[in-house]
Amino acid sequence: MICNLGRGALLLLFLLSWSIPSYVAASGSDPNTLVIGKISHNPKKHYRYLKPMLMYVVERMRDLGITKGKIRMAKSKEHMAELLARGDVDWVTETPIAASYLHEKSGAELLLRKWKKNTSEYYTVFFSLKDGAVKKLEDLKGKIIALEDPASTTAYYLPVHAMLQSGLTPVKLRNFRETPPADKVGFVFVREEINIATLVNKGLAHAGAFSNLDWDKEDHLPSQYRAQFSIFKKLPPVVRAVELVRRDLNPALKRRLEGILLQAGDDPKARPVLHAYQRTKKFDALSGEQKQLIYDMYSIVDLVDQALTP
């Protein structure tokens, strides 16, 4: 999640730690502590999947002096960038869009690709009712499209960027009952993928956009809805998820973390850890070209943020 999801201008920090043998609370400046961070509006949910992986890694860094683990969560991309820049967070798991922003603002470096939910890539699909008025992007003018939330890669940043690149002018509506200007595309945030599908199915939104994975997932798009929809545009695939580290992380810790994650897919002890870590299949290396493509995605973040800043 990469946008400010709090109310008003308040940026909240959730500091979550636990106390078990050899794992005790410590400050962010403690050289014996490895800190993993996440941008989140649901810290309890993310804590559950981060904790097993952090414990697994810390146990394999004891010879390097790492004896403690800590989880820090921020509700905005801006705050996480500050934490990385200050050295308060060592390691982050995020989407490529988020990674591009964190690299640009804090110098955070890509480490590995994460096969989140057994997938290395995904892409955005735009869809509408088969018998509806929207058959192509240009048909969205004067219409409403349902999106997930202002932090989503495939259900906000990428589709809005595609609309901007097509010469359309997206404007945020307070709700789907508003009527967008005739020369603009109104979009509404509905928080969950199933809500996107439901609004389109009921004709309350003329189109929706989310990932191809959501399209195939029954609890995100029930089959009875899917039968009534058609995909009118697909965007190019992007990397599903990545691991990053702060720019000045001790090189020995960086190498060790990379090695631990790379071999985790072949370690029977890591299977429940990987499953908890968003059903990750494995981690693998990113080529220099792949890294640059991700870093270059900051232009998408910047264009969308500037276009929609009041």
Tell me the pLDDT band of 9, cut-offs 50, 70 and 90: very low
In whole angstroms, what is the distance from residue 168 CA to residue 102 CA?
28
Residue 233: pLDDT over 50: yes
* 167 and 33 fall within a common domain: no
Does residue 294 lie within any of the structural domains?
yes
Q: What is the mean pLDDT of residues 68-90?
A: 95
Residue 61: pLDDT over 70: yes
Tell me the pLDDT band of 22, cut-offs 50, 70 and 90: very low
pLDDT digits over 180-229, tens only?
Answer: 999 999 999 999 999 999 999 999 999 999 999 999 999 999 999 999 99
The pLDDT value given to residue 5: 42
Q: What is the pTM of this model?
A: 0.84
Does residue 8 lie within any of the structural domains?
no
* 137 and 231 fall within a common domain: yes
Tell me the pLDDT band of 29, cut-offs 50, 70 and 90: low
Q: Which domain holds residue 192?
A: 124-236
Bridge partner residues of 65 (DSSP): none
* 113 and 259 fall within a common domain: yes
Q: pLDDT: is 178 or 27 the higher one?
A: 178
Task: Residue 119: name the closest of 252, 208, 212 by CA.
Answer: 212
In whole angstroms, what is the distance from residue 55 CA to residue 123 CA?
32
Distances (CA, A) of 139 to 145, 173, 239, 262, 291: 11, 18, 29, 45, 35
* Domain finish residue from 201, 221, 236: 236
Contacts for 86 with CB less than 8 Å, ≥ 6 apart: 28
* 92 and 166 fall within a common domain: no
Tally of domains within the chain: 2
* 79 and 58 fall within a common domain: yes
* 18 and 167 fall within a common domain: no
* 205 and 269 fall within a common domain: no
Q: What percent of the chain has pLDDT over 90?
A: 85
Residue 59: pLDDT over 90: yes
* Average pLDDT in the chain: 91
* Domain finish residue from 236, 255, 271: 236
